[in-house]
Each structure stands twice: as structure tokens, then as C-alpha cells.
Structure 1
Amino acid sequence: MTNSTTLTALVADLGGTNTRVALTDGAYVRTNTIKRFRNADHADLYSVLRAYMADQTVVPDAACVAMAGPVRDGVGELTNLSWTVARDAISDVTGASTVAVLNDLQAQGHALDFLTADVVQTILPGHRASDHAARLVVGVGTGMNAAAVYRLDGRTLVPPSEAGHVSLPAQNSDEIRLLDWIARKHGTPGFEDVLSGRGFERVYEWLSDEAGVDAPLDAGGIMQAVNDGSNKIAESAARVFIRMMGRAAGNLALVHLPFGGIFLCGGVARHFAPHLDRLGFRDAFYDKGRFSGFMEQFPVHLVDDDYAALSGSAAHLTELMG
């Protein structure tokens, strides 16, 4: 068996738009080997991996793919792209004898112990907890998901989840109107129908419809208007989004009791970071009636690391083969 500390592995972070691929030394990603591929330029993940391997002189001992979609028994389906990922096919393409396929939030969970202080911003301080307290990663990007992280007998356990497709709750008349609007336009509303890039666009479109304004913007344009204060509807959309994110994180905290901390990750979450406090994340997170005081125990952090899923994949392989 290959020693996990000398393990050479291929790791890939497969999203709805891009795939990042790299090689590792043990649990650490060799940053100079990271390459990014546009999924639109390739027929499937395997063509991406072939393109990457064509420039390599080493056959990896192991491989791990973290993907934005549900995984079962080593086979995954991308949520926002019609690609299937299977362990056996990855082994054939890479030559790796050991292969793992994870949901991307599972990989983010495996990365937590390898994050450096400079990529973690504390949003809510919470209370100190034991080293073995549960933690929770919440990803908001092209899609939305969450996964609990546990330490058990010296190993990291991150059960898979598809939390982004849980039915979206409403707590006031405005939110009921939003849910009704999403249901008419897009079907049964789940968390991801608000808490994602396209979800932010939907919130803005709903508010524009209610105001009788026809000024369509994509997510980047809406966020730019929030940043420069040029559009009141964009500001309102950001407030709705942030309060929903706070409530979702609070709901998940009560389900999993992650006294070790909640870690927000994903490109969309990072874009909202400067506005979380002023637009109501704290209040929405704590807004749990007689359990509001209880909520103050949970630390909330924001992770600003594009390569955390790669690091988590590497960490998982070292534990798998250790």
C-alpha cells in the first residue's frame, strides 16, 4: 500500500461551469499543477482528465473528484450539467488504482482542518467548543448545499447531503409572495431557487415585477449595483438574499448542532461578504423565537479559498489510504 504521506494523487473540483484539476503530495495540493478547464469546451469529465493527463509525466496512485451534484455508490450526476461521473471510468482515464467521488460540499468539509487563518473571516464569534464538536459547511455559488462534518476515531466523516433542494420556508407576507412567484415561474421553490447566482437574479426579477420596473440584470450586474449603491431594487434583493441565507444557516444549525462552527463557502457567498452585517444576516440567523439566545453559541465563518475542494479531496484520499 502507498504511504499516505508520499501519496501522489489527482484531484478535481467539478462545478457546473468549470473544472479545476491538480496533483497532490500527500494531503497538500501542488498549486503549480492546478489547471482550469471550461466545461463547455469538453464533452464530459473524462475528456477534461485526458487533456490534463496528456501534460503529465506521472501516473497518480489515487484520484478524487469533488462534484456539484448527488453521489451514490461511487457514481455522481451533476445538478446543472448533464454529466455522469463514475469511479471505474476515472480509474481508466487516470491510471489511479484508488478512486473516490465526493459531493463538492463533502470535499469542503474534509478541507476544514487544512484552512489557513488568512482565508477564514469570522462573521459571528459564537462560543468555544471541543475539538470534536460537529461543524457545518454551507456552500452558496452556482447552486446551494450544506454538509455536516464530524471527527470520529481520528477520521473525518462528512455525510452527503442535498440541502439546497429542501423546500424554501417563508416567515412573512413578502416571502410568501416571493415563493408564489417562484412557484409560478420555476416550480416548487427550494433553497437553491433563492440562494444561488440564478436565485439572486430571481429575487431581483420578482422585486422588479412588483415595482413595475423592466430593467433586467444578471447576478454580476445586480451585485455591482449593490456595491455602488446605484439601484434600490438591487439593494432590496441583496437584503432578501442575505436574510434568507442567515435563516437557512440558522435552520441547518438547529438540525446539526455544529458547535465547532458554520463555514460559508462558494463564490456567491464571498461576493456578499461585505454586506452580511448591514443587511441583516446576524438578525436572521438568530431569529429563532425562544431559541434565539441558544443560536449565539454557533460561530459563523466565511471561507475565501478557491481551492478548498481540491485540498479536501487530497485530505480525504490520505485518510482513505492511511
Structure 2
Amino acid sequence: MKYLLAGDLGGTKTLLRLVEVGSLTIVAFERSHQSRDYPGLVAIVQSFLAAAQVPLGLEIEIVSACFGIAGAVIDGASYLPNLDWHIDATKIASILEIPQVKLINDFVAIGYGIGQLRPEDLHTIQTGQPHQNAPKAVIGAGTGLGQGFLIHNGTDYQVVAAEGGHTDFAARSIAEFELWQYICTHKQIARVSTERVVSGPGIVSIYQYLRDKSHFSETPEVANVVKLWESPSENAVDPTALISALAIAKTDPLCQATMQMFVSAYGAEAGNLALKILPYGGIYLAGGIAAKNLALFTDGTFTTAFNHKGRVSHLLGNIPVHVILTPQVGLLGAVAQAAQLHSMR
């Protein structure tokens, strides 16, 4: 049987999917992998295909593959800074014996997946006034901060990759400037990118800053998790889920302040992206943080920061803002690109 292989490769998880050629909406096999458990993408695909042989049989012929990569893709190759991986489409095609392999930025994959979303896959936090065929933008905080935008070419949308998450973090208040200083000292760096703040690790950095520099005291539950995170312990668990959960429950003032600062910074950066693109077709928030914490993104903190742009604030109020609820939007885009790659043979 002939299949298309699609992948969504992130700093934390890699999700792979097989679909039959000609049946793009029917999933033949799908599995999630912890990215850091493997030395590279080839090893993940090999493990995936071995598992797929159980339900699908031994005759799995992959005619084309497309992988959304959490990093810049240049000349068919990519370096993933959060995993220290080098990935090359030509080498993957040769080792795995796949005729055609394409690498695209993960937010390009998300951009191509937007058009395939159902209404129930979105939660709108600012209705705005959408314009037909207007530019669109995507932004998403996770392990890092991805960005991209879509431009209509008269027939369809063309997705353009961006690396806006690595631009300089712009402090908007004394507290954010002190956060900037704290991160520089704590991380022993001289420059703070936006994704150092607007990301999962950024949530932890904000928590540490407020813990160490403000009047908030830690609860033992969070303190133990963060202490393990700060140590080289193999038992460390990412504290972001606990911090956000307690913020939503409103049972931990330090966690509440952390998430409020994070969501505000997220909204401000989304607004910065919107000013550069003027995406009256909509700006879409991808990544698990927004989708899993809707209560924190619908209380006005995000949209207030998004729209607070001084003399040009009026430009942003008409831009629709949507949270993407499905974590598989990148896969949808990668499947579409794999199918297009196969059709061009």
C-alpha cells in the first residue's frame, strides 16, 4: 500500500502520521514520540514505521513525506536549537528510501493547516472584522515561540516562515525590565529574546523572577517541583502545567501573577506581529499553552496587551484573534504539503 508520511517535529514531541494516497482525511496510523528520547528524526521515523507494520502489514511504501520542523529550514536542511539536531531532507530520503522528502518550518505547516480547520477547532477571543483574502498570521508559544504569516496570491494562500521569536524582548514596564535583567543574570547572557519570556521555559523564568524579587511566597507544592527543575535531577518535571493550573484555580497568588505577566507579554508580542503584517484575515494562536489555558486567555489580559499600541491601537481592534484548539493543525498542513509534493512528480 502506498502512503504519505507527515510529521510535526517540536522540541518536546514529534507527531507522525501515515495516510493513504488519495485518502488524506483518513488516518492509517499515527503516533506521538518524545523528541529527546531519540538521537534524531531518522530514528523516530524508523521506530514509527516499525510500529506501523503491526496494524498495516509489512508492505508500507512511502511515496512522499513532509515534516514540519521547529526551526528555520534553509536549502532543505534545518538545525533545531532546542534539540541540537541537524536535519537534511536529502539524507533522510536516502536513508529511509523515500522518493521525495520536504522540510518546512513548523509554523509554515500550521499555516497550511489553518485552511483545513473546522469551526470547532477554533476559539475566538477577539471577533474583529475579517477581510476576505487579507493576510493572516500565526504565533504560538510552546518550547519556543513560533511565528509565520500567510499572503494570498490571488488563488490561494502562500505561507511564509518567520523567526520572530528570536527578536529582542521589549520590556513595557519596570517589572518587565527587571525581568529582563533577572534573566540576563540568571542565564548568564547579554541579550534576551522574546521566546525567553513568551514560551513554556519563559513561564518558569517569570515565576523564578517573581519568587526572588517580589513579595510573593512559594507554596510547598510548587516549590518542590521548581526546585527539582532547577537541579540536574532526572526526576525533574516541567513546572509550567502546575503553575498554570494553580493560576486558573486561583489558589496560588505567585502562580496567578506569573501567568498574568506571561499572558500579557504574549498578547503584546502577538500585537507586535500584527502591526507588522496587519493580518485582517485573522491572527491564530497555536501551541498547547493557549489551548490548554483558555481561561487565562479570555479574561481580557491578552487582548488588552494585544491592542495597547499607542497611537495605532485602533488598527488592531478589527483583527480577529483565534486560539487553535487542535494540536494536530501542523500535521494537517504537513499532509497537504506531502500530497502536493507527490502530485508534482
How does the TM-score come out when normalised to structure 1?
A: 0.92
State the Cα deviation string for residues 236-280 of structure 1 (Å, max 9, x = none): 111111111111011100101111000001011223321123251
Distance, in Å, in 1 between the alignment partners of 2:157 and 2:60 is 28
Question: For residue 134 of structure 1, what is the amino acid of its counterpart?
Answer: P
Q: Say which SS state the counterpart of residue 159 (structure 1) adopts.
A: strand
Task: Give the match for residue 3 of structure 1.
Answer: none
Q: Paired residue for 1:78?
A: 80
Residues 70 and 79 in structure 1, CA contact (< 8 A), matched pair in contact too = no
- What SS does structure 2 have at the residue aligned with 1:205? helix
2:199 aligns with 196
Q: Which residue identity is paired with 1:293? A: H
Are residues 1:141 and 2:142 paired?
A: yes
- 2:180 matches 1:179: yes
Counterparts of 2:340 and 2:27 in 1: how far apart (Å)?
Answer: 21
**Structure 2 spans left out of the alignment, 5+ residues:** 54-58, 227-238
Aligned residues, how many? Answer: 316
Q: Which amino acid aligns with 1:118?
A: E
Q: In the alignment, which residue of structure 1 is the partner of 2:210? A: 207
8 A contact 2:150–2:160 mirrored in 1: yes
Q: Pick from 333, 338, 343: which aligns with 1:312?
A: 333
Contact 2:64-2:339 at 8 Å conserved across structures:
no
How far apart are residue 155 of structure 1 and its match?
Answer: 4.2
Task: Mark the CA change 1:26 to 1:77 in structure 2 (over 3 Å): closer, same or farther.
Answer: farther
Alignment partners' CA distance in 1, 2:22 and 2:307: 40
> Measured at CA, do residues 50 and 264 of structure 1 come closer, stay the same or move farther in structure 2, by a change above 3 Å?
same
Cα distance, 1:151 vs. partner?
2.5
Against the structure 1 CA distance between its residues 253 and 172, is the aligned structure 2 distance closer, same or farther, given a 3 Å change threshold?
A: same
1:214-229 mapped onto 2 (5 Å cutoff): 216=223, 217=226, 218-229=239-250
Superposition pairs of residues 104-183 of structure 1, within 5 angstroms? 104-130=106-132, 132-183=133-184
SS of residue matched to 2:161: coil
Equivalents in 2 of 1:99, 1:71: separation in Å? Answer: 13
* 1:1-322 → structure 2 map (5 Å cutoff): 8-24=3-19, 25-26=21-22, 28-54=24-50, 55-56=52-53, 57-130=59-132, 132-186=133-187, 187=189, 188-211=191-214, 213=217, 216=223, 217=226, 218-278=239-299, 280-320=301-341, 321-322=343-344
Question: How far apart, CA to CA, are the structure 2 residues paired with 1:176 and 1:37?
Answer: 38
Q: Secondary structure at the match of 2:90?
A: helix
3-state secondary structure, aligned to 2:299: coil
In structure 2, do the counterparts of structure 1 residues 27 and 182 end up closer, same or farther at CA, with 3 Å as the change threshold?
farther
Identity fraction in percent: 28
- Secondary structure of the structure 1 residue equivalent to 2:251: coil
Q: Give the structure-2-normalised TM-score.
A: 0.86
Distance in structure 2 (CA, Å) of the matches to 1:154 and 1:63: 25
> 1:174/1:206 Cα in 2 relative to 1: closer, same or farther (>3 Å)?
same
User: Which amino acid in the other structure matches residue 143 of structure 1?
Assistant: G
Give the direction of change, closer, same or farther, for the CA distance of 1:178–1:88 in structure 2 (3 Å limit): same
Distance 2:22 2:315 in 1: 40
CA gap 1:41/1:95 in 2 versus in 1, 3 angstroms: same
2:86 and 2:274 mapped to 1: Cα distance? 31
- The RMSD of aligned alpha carbons is 1.9
Equivalent position amino acid for 2:7 in 1: A
CA distances 1:137-188 after superposition (whole Å, capped 9, x unpaired): 1111111011001232534322221111110111221111111111212221
